[in-house]
Amino acid sequence: SHPVIAGFITASGILIAFSQLKHLLGVSAHGHTLPELLLSIGAHLGETSMITVIIGVSATAFLFWVRKGLKPALRGLGASPKLADVLTKAGPVAAVAVTTISVWLFGLNDKGVKIVGEVPQGLPPLTLPGLSPDLIGQLLMPAILISIIGFVESVSVAQTLAAKKRQRIDPDQELIGLGAANIGAAFTGGYPVTGGFARSVVNYDAGAETPAAGAFTAVGLAIAAVALTPLVYYLPTATLAATIVVAVLSLVDFSILKKTWGYSKADFTAVAATILLTLTMGVEVGVASGVGISILLHLYKTSRPHVAEIGLVPGTQHFRNIHRHNVETDPTVLSLRVDESLYFVNARFLEDLVQARVSEGCAIKNVILMFSAVNEVDFSALESLEAINQRLTELGIGLHLSEVKGPVMDRLQTTHFLHELNGRVFLSQYDAWRAMVPLADTDEAAE
């Protein structure tokens, strides 16, 4: 569900930002959850490098200003919109260049500033992946988990970025693209490929509009790997951390908590649980819990379907909820509109509801189930309908269906239910009403 995805993205953004804090402080720290990161950073605060802090804070402040203030400032100085846009997007490149030159010029790497260092030059060779049975047995379950996490993460960030531009994505095509990329990575010794949060947002902030951005990035990386790696030797890791922090914090959106709290407490619970579990137990648990919570939320919402008792709106052929509208009813007829497909989770709910309404001694002689909103009846629901029919037959009450959709009727016709039904199936609820309430014809004639 979208609220769960929003919660997962928010928590992931926070985790990524805090994981970069150690680089901004110049300390050694580790951890995959928020408590682990905070405890580890706290234990190493004494190792903080003030020069690294100055570089990291300055780069972070500059990048935040670039995002919000540089473009208006350039426009105020008379720059054209296109030039201002290009210079704004080049802001991170300027931060990288200035800090790299500063470290090299003043020898800051000898004063505690951690740098990227030597990057292997050249492209990776083509290799065949290991296919030994022992290796496959060891990696099978981790590979399945990695693929699920990679797909969910990729689709989550893709949906978020697409929404910012009012676009839509095709998850099937995303899965095909990820599969093809991972097959290619297997022959170059690469890591599992996924649409990571940090990289995707940095790419988005740089102005990427089409898949061509990925192609240009690949070409640029190939050129850099072959010829430009010496130039990033003095690049401080604090600058890279600042770039990532500024990018991922744009994904953090706590307003989803307020929105879901006001709209649906169930959705709020799902969002809050996903955020807390991701922060405290890690991304893997967060993804798994997000998927599980989405499924449980669906089961919960459909386990108690909305079933309205309806009556005829005077002067029309329309039927509405008796608790919301002034409608005509008849004490001998119980009309129920089922507003959910019937399946094993909610089948018993309808059965219990009808049982409660036709208690001993009531005046009801006919029950009409309006199926206009029912798209499917599974086998468990079919058994419940058979039980309802049998119970009503024993009480001398007719069971009727109205406005049954074609696919549902096709499925029911393959069973004995329609033959054993003690009532009829009507094309419309109004036809059923006229058949059950003869006075309706008399009233029409009088009018």
In our burial notation (b when 16+ CB lie closer than 10 A, e otherwise), range 314-334 reads eeeeebbeeeeeebbebeebb
Tell which residue, 66, 92, 124, 81, has the closest CA to residue 203: 92
Mean pLDDT, rounded, for 42-66: 93
Query: What's the confidence (pLDDT) of residue 77?
Result: 87
Does residue 305 surpass a pLDDT of 60? yes
Mean pLDDT, rounded, for 12-33: 90
Judgement on whether residues 240 and 336 belong to the same structural domain of the protein? no
Judgement on whether residues 88 and 156 belong to the same structural domain of the protein? yes
Judgement on whether residues 340 and 250 belong to the same structural domain of the protein? no
Dist. CA 285–CA 72, nearest whole Å: 42
Query: What's the confidence (pLDDT) of residue 264?
Result: 87
Averaged pLDDT score across all residues of the chain:
88
Judgement on whether residues 341 and 253 belong to the same structural domain of the protein? no
Query: What's the confidence (pLDDT) of residue 393?
Result: 94
Query: What's the confidence (pLDDT) of residue 156?
Result: 80
Query: What's the confidence (pLDDT) of residue 40?
Result: 92
Does residue 378 surpass a pLDDT of 90? yes
Split at pLDDT 50, 70, 90, the class of 248 is: confident
Asked whether the beta carbons of 342 and 350 are under 8 A apart, the reply is: yes
At position 209, the amino acid (one-letter code) is E
For 319, the 3-state DSSP assignment is: strand
- pLDDT per residue as tens digits for the range 104-127: 999 999 988 999 888 888 888 888
Does residue 1 surpass a pLDDT of 80? no
Tell me which of 189 and 237 has the higher pLDDT.
237
Does residue 100 surpass a pLDDT of 90? yes
Domain residue limits at 26: 2-299
Query: What's the confidence (pLDDT) of residue 360?
Result: 62
Split at pLDDT 50, 70, 90, the class of 444 is: very low
Mean pLDDT, rounded, for 375-395: 94
Which residues contact residue 129 at a Cβ distance below 8 angstroms, ignoring those fewer than 6 apart?
186, 187
Split at pLDDT 50, 70, 90, the class of 2 is: confident
In our burial notation (b when 16+ CB lie closer than 10 A, e otherwise), range 253-274 reads eeebbebbeeeeeebbbbbbbb
Judgement on whether residues 342 and 292 belong to the same structural domain of the protein? no
The model carries a pTM of: 0.69
Identify the domain boundary among 243, 272, 299: 299
Domain with residue 334: its CATH number is 3.30.750.24
Dist. CA 371–CA 376, nearest whole Å: 10
Judgement on whether residues 205 and 313 belong to the same structural domain of the protein? no
Identify the domain boundary among 299, 318, 343: 299
Judgement on whether residues 15 and 105 belong to the same structural domain of the protein? yes
Dist. CA 435–CA 440, nearest whole Å: 9
Dist. CA 81–CA 20, nearest whole Å: 33
Phi-psi category of residue 318: left, alpha or beta, with phi > 0 → left and psi -120 to 50 → alpha: beta
For 228, the 3-state DSSP assignment is: helix
Query: What's the confidence (pLDDT) of residue 445?
Result: 40
- pLDDT per residue as tens digits for the range 136-150: 888 888 888 788 878
- Worst-scoring range by mean pLDDT, 47-61, 146-160, 224-238, 321-335? 146-160
Query: What's the confidence (pLDDT) of residue 442?
Result: 41
Query: What's the confidence (pLDDT) of residue 142?
Result: 81
Judgement on whether residues 49 and 168 belong to the same structural domain of the protein? yes
Judgement on whether residues 285 and 233 belong to the same structural domain of the protein? yes
How many distinct structural domains can be found in the chain? Answer: 2
Does residue 174 surpass a pLDDT of 60? yes
Dist. CA 258–CA 10, nearest whole Å: 14
Q: Which of 300-309, 330-339, 354-363 has the highest mean pLDDT?
A: 330-339
Judgement on whether residues 222 and 157 belong to the same structural domain of the protein? yes
Dist. CA 118–CA 231, nearest whole Å: 10
Judgement on whether residues 11 and 42 belong to the same structural domain of the protein? yes
Identify the domain boundary among 299, 320, 340: 299
Does residue 206 surpass a pLDDT of 80? no
Judgement on whether residues 157 and 22 belong to the same structural domain of the protein? yes
